[in-house]
């Protein structure tokens, strides 16, 4: 049972890293980016190609995956997304759905539709025993890495000038602009950073979540759940939501395999009816 | 005259800011009242509470002696409590005919009719025509509201409320932004409202307040500072203190 | 009518509900396709079904302003219901089964309508998406009932109305689908031109003011959402009945996205958008299927991206221009016909 908890936590933290970028962009620009998963997929595929086909080390590939996705995000943001900011939610949704479809088809075309696996280094494979609990080495790495990233993210937001500007812009964009904060620049950086995080998450998650061209579509709902249940005004909100989701999903699939997937969808629907602004969001008026 | 609209110790707390501070109002049937106060005094919040757009933190609202605090906005309209908005809230894509027709249909109970075509009930069409005529909207009545000049939109805003046949009408700064020419028209229409309709007016323009209201309530920082006739209020030292230097267009 | 202007107003309102010559032309063309294009009946049936599905989405998106990413939930529910009715001989006659499946979908719509009342656009997207995913998962897991990933096999249709066997060429299927589409379209047209329909448009335009003039906003939204679900369910039922098969793809996200696209192509909020969009979509799909069968959704994605970038306003401009052009063409044709008749 503790193993399940452990696996669930690993899964949840991975989801958090993947979805954190989406939470930031949604909270900052009220922009619904359904194509977020595509950047995660990009990171995953970059890692797979580097490790499997170009002989890079796993740990060398990870930051490259981050950078590649961040660059990709930055490119798309400046050229395409920036033109869609002022448009209605429907149009933003259509736009990002369009991007997802294109990404999925493109990856399928160039890299095939089979699931990809990254070659993990020796010491990360397998489990070891800790007080009778089976601890997967790779999952332990994920928990450690994601934990570090989460703490770093929180520190960044709370203690840096950039972080405080970002929080101000999320809180009230108009006032932030009035104070002279360059919201567009903040958004460009945040979008790139969030895409990078997604890419890193995709790289780490390839082993656990399964990497194939349909990845952005399969996990779109998970990211959206994290963001809507967790709210977009804090970091801890999505973090807790991701953990809840990860543990719920793993436990659900183990204990009630027939209803495994229902658990999370039902949680989501129930939460959204009960508290449309998210489970953990501050009750701030928008 | 019996009290038609009443609030009992109404309070609205926004996360620490007391927007409405234990307000107890009693308005008699047929009254011509004005609610005045400096900017930020909480006048529009009070209107939102009265109409159900906001829920009070505590306190009650009575219409004809009936507790309506828990009623939804549209239910209060059905009971005759109607308001206009300070900034026009109109249906940009609909024409004045459709807009007024909508209100008249709803009021007469035909609003949910999904089979009969719009415009087939003579009594409703007659009423629509009368209102559009009264508010000088007949020359633009088939055009999209978004294309109308501001003065006409403002007239439509008021006409829409009148079309609901209100018993109590809450006007939130009806003359706001209206050019001088149309202002006269608008005020005349408001003055000519039937006597059995109770009117509460929120206004900044003291000329309008003094020419229209028989009774004034002064709201400052969410609380009722004073109430009385226009003469009493203009002499009241507390009211003068609250307003001195704060009312720019008196 | 006592007021001097009443007549003018009544006439104006009546004129808006009158049948436009282009509408008549459209339905004449549809009827014509039944007799004049017998070889195309299979694809025409698909078009009719897709048109009905898009029409149902127009009711909630175009007239009530509800953005749904999971409208396939009702489509799929109706599809499987109709399939099960036929497979287990519960309701053998297809038209009756179609109505029953529609009724079930209507019930589902009513049950889930409360979910779309609260929250922002994003919440609605999520909830509608979630409902469709739940249903897909349910259909997947309940494989003893639905056939799971293999789909519902063994659906054999009894003759329509007891007399017309579904033939391989799809003649009966098309006549059936087209009739259902036409009937439901007429009903929708009536609803939209009614006071109820007008109140929906006002809710889409300014929900705050709508409730401030006494319109019970939530009640109206629930009503239209329920009706739209029924329409979508009937479309799904028609699909199962005309193809004698139902698979999990009826619940797919792609299906919800595709129908949204269909409606966008044709134009939202005037009822014909879904129909026209369905024709263009299917024809486009058919053509592209010859070029790139596997990567069809790439082109859909590209279209969506370009569409949003170019702007809906420009697309509406082009649509109005196209409509005006067609109208002139129809009028010229009518004049010519009249001229010739006068001369002879």
State percent of chain B over pLDDT 70: 97
Out of B77, B116, B119, the one facing C214 most closely (by C-beta) is B77
Residue-wise pLDDT for C295-309, tens only, equals 888 888 998 899 888
- Cα–Cα distance measured from residue A137 to residue C139, given in angstroms and rounded to the nearest whole number: 36
In tens, the pLDDT along A135-170 reads 777 888 888 888 888 888 888 888 888 888 877 877
Q: Average of pLDDT values for C174-190?
A: 96
pLDDT band of A181, cuts 50, 70, 90: confident
pLDDT given for residue C342 in this prediction: 62
Query: In the structure encoding, which two tokens stand for residue A231, read together?
Result: 């709210």
B165, B184, B204 - which closes a domain: B165
Is the model's pLDDT at A82 over the cut of 70? Answer: yes
Quote the pLDDT of residue C76: 96
Q: Is B139 in the same domain as B180?
A: no
Q: Are C5 and B129 in contact (CB under 8 A)?
A: yes
> What is the C-alpha separation between A174 and A169, in angstroms, rounded?
8
The CATH number covering residue C260 comes to 1.10.3470
Residue B130 lies in a domain: yes
pLDDT at residue B197 is higher than 90: yes
Measured distance CA(B33)–CA(B200) in Å, rounded: 5
Lowest mean pLDDT among A3-12, A97-106, A247-256: A247-256
> Does residue C151 form part of some domain?
yes
Residue C26 lies in a domain: no
What would you report as the CA-atom Rg of chain A, rounded to the nearest whole angstrom?
18
pLDDT number for residue B235? 86
Cα separation of A123 and C159, whole Å? 66
Residue A282 pLDDT > 60? no
Q: For residues C322-326, give the mean pLDDT.
A: 76
Question: How close is the nearest chain B Cα to the Cα of C221, in Å?
Answer: 11
Please indicate, yes or no, if residue B85 is contained in any of the structural domains: no
The Cα A152–Cα A20 span in angstroms is 12
Subunits close to A (at least 3 CB pairs below 8 A): B, C
Of B48-52, B177-181, C21-25, C319-323, the poorest mean pLDDT is in: C319-323
pLDDT digit string (tens) for C244-298?
999 999 999 989 999 999 998 888 888 999 999 999 999 988 888 887 777 888 8
- Give the model confidence (pLDDT) of A20-58 as tens digits: 888 888 877 778 788 999 999 999 999 888 888 887 888
Burial class (CB in 10 A: 0-12, 13-18, 19+), C139: buried
Which ipTM did the prediction report? 0.91
Last residue of a domain, one of B119, B140, B165: B165
Report the pLDDT averaged over residues C46-68. Answer: 94
Determine contact: C5 vs chain B, CB below 8 A. Answer: yes
* Min Cα–Cα distance to chain A from B185, Å: 38
A204: tokens are: 């780490």
Q: What is the pLDDT of residue A222?
A: 87
- Which of residues 42 through 81 in chain A touch C, CB cutoff 8 A? 80
Number of separate domains in chain B = 2
> Quick one: closest CA in A to B14, which residue?
A285
Q: Of the ranges B7-16, B139-148, B174-183, which one carries the lowest mean pLDDT score? A: B174-183
**At residue A126, does pLDDT exceed 50?**
yes
Question: Tens of pLDDT along C117-148?
Answer: 877 777 788 888 888 988 998 898 888 888 88
Has residue C232 got a pLDDT over 60? Answer: yes
Q: How many CB atoms within 10 Å of residue A179?
A: 12
Domain boundary among B165, B197, B225: B165
- A98 vs C126: CB contact, 8 Å cut-off? no
User: What is the C-alpha to C-alpha distance for residues B197 and A32, in angstroms, rounded to an integer?
Assistant: 47
Predicted confidence band of residue B249 (pLDDT cuts 50, 70, 90): very low
> How far apart are the C-alpha atoms of C194 and C217, rounded to whole Å?
16
Range of the domain at B95: 90-165
Taking the mean position of all CA atoms in its chain, how far away is CA C25? 19
Preferred mutation among B12, B13, B14, B15 to probe A, highest tally of A CBs within 10 A: B15
B182 and B143 both lie in a single domain? no
Distance of alpha carbon C153 from its chain centroid, rounded?
A: 26
- How far is the alpha carbon of A172 from chain C, nearest alpha carbon, in Å? 18
More confident: A55 or B94? B94
* A233: chain B residues, CB-CB within 8 Å: none
Query: From the CA of C307, how many Å to the nearest CA of chain B?
Result: 23
User: Which pLDDT value is given to residue B250?
Assistant: 46
Q: Which residues pair with B226 in a beta bridge?
A: B218
For residue B17, the cross-strand partners are: B14
What pLDDT score does A286 carry? 33
Q: Closest Cα partner for C231 from C87, C92, C315, C108? A: C108
Residues 6 or more apart in contact with residue B109 via CB below 8 angstroms: none
Phi, psi of B69 (to 5 degrees): -55, -35
Determine whether the interchain pair C212/B120 forms a contact, defined as Cβ–Cβ distance below 8 Å.
no
Q: Is residue C47 scored above 90 in pLDDT?
A: yes
Cβ-based neighbours of C318, under 8 Å, separated by 6 or more: none
Task: Name every residue whose Cβ is closer than 8 Å to that of residue C261 and which is 6 or more positions away in sequence.
Answer: A94, C277, C281, C300, C303, C304
Same domain, B202 and B228: yes
Q: Which residue has the higher pLDDT, B70 or A282?
A: B70
pLDDT of residue C172: 92
For residue B213, give every residue at least 6 positions away whose Cβ sits within 8 Å of its Cβ, in sequence order, or none. Answer: B32, B33, B34, B201, B230
Identify the H or E element spanning A130: strand A127-130
Query: What pLDDT was estimated at residue C272?
Result: 93
Residues of A in contact with C133 (CB under 8 A): 221, 261, 265
Joined tokens for residue C180: 């259902």
* B35-41: average pLDDT: 86
Q: Are residues B170 and B150 in the same domain?
A: no
B55 touches chain A (CB under 8 A): no
Question: Which residue reads 């950073």 in tokens?
Answer: A193
Q: Per-residue pLDDT for B179 more than 70?
A: yes
- In the block, tokens 């595509």 appear at A38
Label residue C26 exposed, middle or buried (CB < 10 Å: 0-12, 13-18, 19+): middle
Q: Do C5 and B129 touch (CB under 8 A)?
A: yes
C-beta atoms surrounding C134 within 10 Å: 21
Chain A interface, Cβ < 8 Å to B: 283, 285
Looking at residue A141, its pLDDT comes to 83
pLDDT classification of A278: cutoffs 50, 70, 90: low
Q: What is the DSSP string of C112-178?
A: HHGGGTSS-HHHHHHHHHHHHHHHHHHHHH-HHHH-GGG-B----PPPBTTTBPPPTT-HHHHHHHH
Q: Give residue C44's domain range.
A: 32-310
Mean pLDDT, rounded, for A253-268: 77
Of the candidates C128, A209, C260, the one whose C-alpha atom is nearest the C-alpha of residue C136 is C128
Q: Which residues 103-132 of A are in CB contact (within 8 Å) with C?
A: 103-106, 108-109
d(CA B161, CA B156): 9
The per-residue pLDDT for A66 is: 92
Residue B121 within a domain: yes
Number of A/B CB contacts below 8 angstroms equals 3
Residue A281's pLDDT is what?
55
Tally of structural domains, chain C: 1
β-bridge partners, B172: B202
Quote the Cα angle for C10-C12-C18, to 5°: 100
Contact list, A285 vs chain B (CB under 8 Å): 14-15
Q: Identify whether residues B120 and B3 lie together within a single domain.
A: no
Task: State pLDDT tens for residues B49-78.
Answer: 999 999 999 999 999 999 999 999 999 999
Confidence tier at B248 by pLDDT (50, 70, 90):
very low
Say yes or no: B170 and B250 in one domain. yes
- Put simply, the answer to whether C123 touches A272 (Cβ < 8 Å) is yes
Across chain B, mean pLDDT equals 89
Kindly state the percentage of chain A with pLDDT values over 70. 94
C309 to chain A: which residues are within 8 Å by CB? 80, 83-84, 95
What is the percent of chain C where pLDDT is above 70?
A: 96
Across the interface, which of C126, C253, C303 has its CB nearest the CB of A268? C126
What CATH number is given to the structural domain containing B68?
3.40.50.300
Cβ-nearest to A94 among C120, C264, C294: C264
Answer yes or no: is B40 within a domain.
yes
B156: distance to nearest CA of chain C, Å?
A: 13
Report the chain B residue with the minimal C-alpha distance to residue C224.
B114
Beta strands in chain B (DSSP E): 3-14, 17-28, 32-36, 58-63, 66-67, 81-83, 168-172, 198-202, 215-220, 223-228
Q: Is the pLDDT of residue B231 over 50?
A: yes
Q: What is the mean pLDDT of chain C?
A: 89
pLDDT at C77 over 50: yes
Residue C10: inside a domain: no
Whether the per-residue pLDDT at B245 is higher than 60: the answer is no
Pairing of strands B168-172, B198-202: parallel
Nearest CA in chain C to A26: C122
Q: How confident is the model at residue A277 (pLDDT cuts 50, 70, 90)?
A: low
If one compares A231 and B167, the residue with the highest pLDDT of the two is B167
pLDDT at C103: 97
One domain for residues B192 and B119: no
d(CA B90, CA C213): 11
Residue A130's DSSP bridge partners are A133
> pLDDT at position A284, please?
39
Q: Indicate the pTM of the whole model.
A: 0.87
pLDDT in the model for residue C341 = 66
Residue B205 and residue B106 share a domain: no
pLDDT at B140 over 50: yes
B150 to chain A, any CB pair closer than 8 A? The answer is no
């Amino acid at each position: 049972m503790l193993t399940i908890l452990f696996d669930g936590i690993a899964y949840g933290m991975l989801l958090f890293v993947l979805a954190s970028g989406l939470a930031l962009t949604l909270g900052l620009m009220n922009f619904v980016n359904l194509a977020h998963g595509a950047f995660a997929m990009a990171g995953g595929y970059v890692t797979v190609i580097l490790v499997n086909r170009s002989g890079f080390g796993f740990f060398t590939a990870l930051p490259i995956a981050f950078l590649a996705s961040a660059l990709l995000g930055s490119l798309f943001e400046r050229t395409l997304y920036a033109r869609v900011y002022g448009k209605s939610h429907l149009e933003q949704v259509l736009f990002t759905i369009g991007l997802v479809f294109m990404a999925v088809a493109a990856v399928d075309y160039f890299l095939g539709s089979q699931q990809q696996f990254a070659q993990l280094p020796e010491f990360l494979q397998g489990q070891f025993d800790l007080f009778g609990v089976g601890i997967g080495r790779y999952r332990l790495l994920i928990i450690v890495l994601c934990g570090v990233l989460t703490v770093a993210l929180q520190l960044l937001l709370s203690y840096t000038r950039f972080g405080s500007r970002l929080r101000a812009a999320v809180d009230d964009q108009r006032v932030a602009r009035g104070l002279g904060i360059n919201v567009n620049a903040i958004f460009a950086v945040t979008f790139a950073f969030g895409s990078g995080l997604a890419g890193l998450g995709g790289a780490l998650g390839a082993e656990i979540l399964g990497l194939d061209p349909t990845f952005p579509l399969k996990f779109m709902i998970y990211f959206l759940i994290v963001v809507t249940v967790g709210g977009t005004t804090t970091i801890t909100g999505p973090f807790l939501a991701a953990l809840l989701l990860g543990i719920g999903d793993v436990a659900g699939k183990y204990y009630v395999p027939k209803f495994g997937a229902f658990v999370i969808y039902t949680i989501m629907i129930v939460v959204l009816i009960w508290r449309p602004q998210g489970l953990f969001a501050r009750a701030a008026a928008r | 005259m019996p009290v038609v609209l009443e609030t009992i110790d109404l309070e609205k707390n926004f996360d620490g800011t007391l927007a409405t501070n234990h307000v107890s109002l009693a308005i008699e049937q047929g009254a011509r009242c004005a609610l005045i106060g400096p900017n930020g005094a909480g006048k529009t919040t009070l209107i939102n509470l009265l109409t159900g757009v906001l829920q009070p933190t505590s306190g009650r609202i009575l219409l004809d002696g009936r507790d309506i605090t828990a009623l939804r906005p549209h239910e209060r309209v059905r009971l005759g409590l109607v308001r206009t908005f300070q900034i026009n809230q109109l249906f940009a894509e609909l024409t004045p005919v459709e807009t007024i027709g909508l209100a008249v249909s709803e009021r007469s109970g035909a609003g949910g009719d999904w089979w009969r075509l719009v415009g087939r009930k003579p009594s409703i069409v007659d009423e629509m025509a009368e209102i559009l005529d009264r508010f000088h909207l007949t020359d633009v009545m088939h055009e999209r509201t978004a294309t109308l000049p501001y003065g006409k939109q403002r007239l439509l805003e008021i006409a829409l409320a009148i079309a609901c046949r209100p018993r109590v009408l809450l006007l939130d700064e009806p003359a706001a932004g209206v050019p001088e020419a149309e202002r006269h028209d608008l005020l005349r229409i408001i003055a000519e409202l039937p006597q059995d309709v109770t009117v509460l007016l929120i206004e900044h323009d003291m000329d309008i307040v003094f020419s229209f209201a028989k009774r004034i309530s002064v709201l400052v920082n969410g609380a009722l500072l004073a109430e009385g006739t226009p003469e009493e209020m203009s002499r009241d030292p507390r009211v003068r203190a609250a307003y001195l230097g704060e009312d720019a267009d008196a | 009518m006592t007021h001097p202007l009443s007549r003018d107003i009544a006439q104006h309102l009546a004129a808006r509900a009158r049948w436009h010559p282009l509408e008549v032309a459209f339905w004449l063309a549809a009827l014509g396709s039944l007799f004049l294009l017998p070889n195309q009946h299979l694809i025409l049936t698909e078009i009719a079904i897709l048109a009905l599905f898009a029409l149902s989405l127009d009711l909630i998106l175009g007239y009530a302003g509800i953005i749904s990413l999971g409208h396939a939930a009702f489509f799929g529910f109706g599809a499987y219901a109709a399939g099960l009715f036929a497979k287990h001989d519960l309701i053998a006659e297809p038209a009756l089964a179609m109505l029953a499946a529609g009724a079930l979908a209507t019930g589902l719509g009513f049950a889930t309508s409360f979910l779309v009342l609260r929250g922002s656009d994003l919440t609605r997207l999520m909830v509608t998406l979630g409902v469709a995913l739940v249903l897909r998962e349910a259909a997947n897991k309940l494989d003893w009932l639905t056939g799971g990933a293999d789909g519902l096999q063994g659906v054999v249709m009894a003759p329509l109305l007891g007399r017309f066997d579904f033939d391989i060429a799809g003649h009966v299927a098309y006549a059936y689908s087209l009739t259902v589409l036409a009937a439901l379209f007429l009903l929708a047209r009536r609803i939209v031109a009614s006071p109820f329909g007008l109140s929906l448009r006002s809710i889409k335009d300014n929900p705050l003011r709508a409730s401030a003039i006494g319109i019970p906003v939530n009640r109206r939204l629930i009503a239209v959402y329920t009706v739209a679900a029924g329409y979508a369910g009937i479309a799904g039922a028609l699909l199962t009945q005309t193809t004698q098969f139902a698979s999990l793809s009826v619940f797919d996200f792609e299906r919800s996205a595709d129908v949204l696209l269909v409606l966008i192509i044709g134009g939202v909020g005037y009822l014909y958008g879904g129909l026209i969009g369905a024709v263009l979509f299917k024809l486009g799909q058919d053509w592209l299927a010859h070029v790139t069968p596997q990567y069809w959704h790439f082109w859909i994605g590209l279209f969506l991206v370009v569409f949003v970038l170019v702007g809906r306003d420009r697309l509406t401009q082009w649509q109005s221009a196209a409509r005006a052009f067609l109208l002139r063409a129809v009028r010229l044709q009518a004049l010519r016909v009249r001229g010739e008749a006068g001369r002879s």
